[in-house]
Amino acid sequence: MNNTFKASYAVLALVVSSALNADVLPSYQTNSAWYTDAQNSINKKLNSNNQFKAKNVIIFVGDGMGVSTLTAARILQGQQAGNNGEEGYLSFETFPHTALVKTYNVDAQTPDSAGTMTAMMSGLKTDVGVIGVDEDIVRGDCSTVAGNEVVSALELAEIKGLSTGIVSTARITHATPAATFAKSADRNWEDISDMPEDAVTGGCKDIADQLVNFEANLEARFKGVDVNGIEVVMGGGRRHFLPKDASFNSSDAVSEVEGDRTDERDLTAEWQSQYSNGVYVMDQAGFDAINTESTERVMGLFNESHMQYEADRQNDIAGEPSIAEMTSKAIDILDNNDQGFFLMVESGRIDHGHHAGSAYNALTDTIALSDAVKAAVEKTDPNETLILVTADHGHVFTIAGYPKRGNPILGKVVGIGSDKPATASDGLPYTTLGYTNGNGMHDLGSETNADAGYSEEINAGRQDLTNVDTTASGFHQEALIPMSSETHSGEDIALHAQGPGAQLVQGVVEQSVVFHLIEQSLDLIQE
């Protein structure tokens, strides 16, 4: 059989095969939503952008957003819309490319955010609790920082002339956002009052100081480099920028003395003096007033500590923008640069909701992140913007039992064919969602602040939930092992991607690969 005949035969066989398949499969199968949705999913992957180079990169990090969190959040989102829930998707779960990411730190099987985010921002893994440095450092030892600093994707983007931005619902000096710009022997050195005396005298700078002086620090490290500094900084953590003096309190301060700094410095004022073209805001009104066409840079510090949980945001004294609003405004400012931009957006309070044992808060913040990703997709061109959505680690959060389809994800398990809660071997009902460890069950009714649970005594182990509304915002799930705070988990997390270079997101990868995806897409390292 010659090659021409072989080729013709192959084409004919494919046509015959397709015809046979069309005839063999019944219409109720091929017309089923399950069938057509799956085929559309495959077609989307086949037709996805084949370009590898991007003008912009946006990376979203759902802190603590493990796979079980994604599943439960998508179900809750669907049920809030009046559907069964299981059939839905979070906005980024429809992206054409997905990978699983290994999260361990160099010295830890179950990681923390400092080590994991450093891996994503620098391309190498490091130890628990250290930021922007390699594994050769000794945590808490200032003298080991020099010579072990790593370069972050945000720093490389600045050097290339791109605009840069950092958005977080946590303190902007917290581990995940800090890993984009800081070098620290300890993630807890958020301001000078958090540092031991030997670290201060040894020349190490606190994380808030490093943020305000980012431009000067980067230029000092790389002689001949001229950068213009981070254009967008939005998040919480105002206390780390203000002196420990009540006269500097903001209008929405909740502490008698809002600031923590013991060096008498007001870093918000220092930032404004450095950038006469910059706008400093601290509430919703100030945020809303920003003109994104004319504003060159913004520092927004919207809370003394972390920003509010999404469910509790309406209770903020001065008002706080949502993560979707911050993302949209950041993009509107950053895309004024024709060369492109790099933006990191963290939903930090997913993690805090889980630590507090509140699935309601963790899932509500996950849905808010999904809304932020949707906003970013709508504001950018998929042919020029790579969007990555991932987590730094997961939590010991489970979806268990055998609830029937559409059973409230926050509710008690009700089995298939039943309308009454199932009971365990101890005769008590149980919830679909639960934690392996943590503070345990609390029934706080309509409370929307997950952290309120910390004022309660640890209540781990089995509880009688017969007369408890487990779907209420103030309900905290049962936990098996008593601990003051629920812990991270060590399993893989997901990475979703669309845009130029997204097709490289596949398989099971080390967390450090995320940096290389960003770098190759933006060509940050010039040969």
Q: Binding site membership: which residues? A: 63, 174, 176, 346, 351, 355, 392-393, 488
Cα distance between residue 300 and residue 307, in whole Å: 11
Where do the DSSP E strands lie in 63-133?
Answer: 97-102
| Integer CA distances (angstroms), 315 to 307, 310, 320, 336, 452, in order | 11, 10, 9, 34, 14
Contact 357, 453 (CB under 8 A): yes
Cα distance between residue 155 and residue 178, in whole Å: 12
H/E/C letters for each residue in 199-225? HHHCCCCCHHHHHHCHHHHHHHHCCCC
**Could you tell me whether strands 433-438 and 232-236 are parallel, antiparallel, or unpaired per DSSP bridges?**
unpaired
The amino acid at residue 127 is: D
Residue 32 bears catalytic tag: no
Distance, C-alpha 489 to centroid of its chain: 16
Specify the DSSP element, H or E, that contains 115. Answer: helix 113-122
For 402, residues 6+ apart whose C-beta sits below 8 A from its C-beta are: 413, 415, 416, 422
Catalytic residue among 68, 91, 113, 122: 113
Nearest residue to 287 (alpha-carbon basis) of 335, 319, 324: 319
The amino acid at residue 407 is: N
Q: DSSP string of 358-418?
A: -HHHHHHHHHHHHHHHHHHHHHS-TTTEEEEEEES-EESEEE-S-PPTT--TTSB-B-TT-
Q: Per the annotation, where are the binding residues for Mg(2+)?
A: 63, 174, 176, 346
Cα distance between residue 312 and residue 412, in whole Å: 24
Cα distance between residue 228 and residue 215, in whole Å: 6
Mark residue 371 as left, alpha or beta (left: phi above 0; alpha: psi -120 to 50; beta: remaining): alpha
Cα distance between residue 454 and residue 427, in whole Å: 29
26 is written with which tokens? 């019944």
How many other β-carbons are positioned within 10 Å of the β-carbon of residue 310?
26
Segments in 293-379 forming alpha helices (H):
323-334, 349-355, 359-379
Contact 146, 85 (CB under 8 A): no
3-class state of residue 116 by DSSP: helix
Please tell me the chain's helix, strand, coil percentages from 3-state DSSP, rounded to the nearest 5. Answer: 35, 20, 45
> How many alpha carbons lie under 13 Å from residue 378 in its C-beta half-sphere?
12
Q: Which residues are catalytic?
A: 113
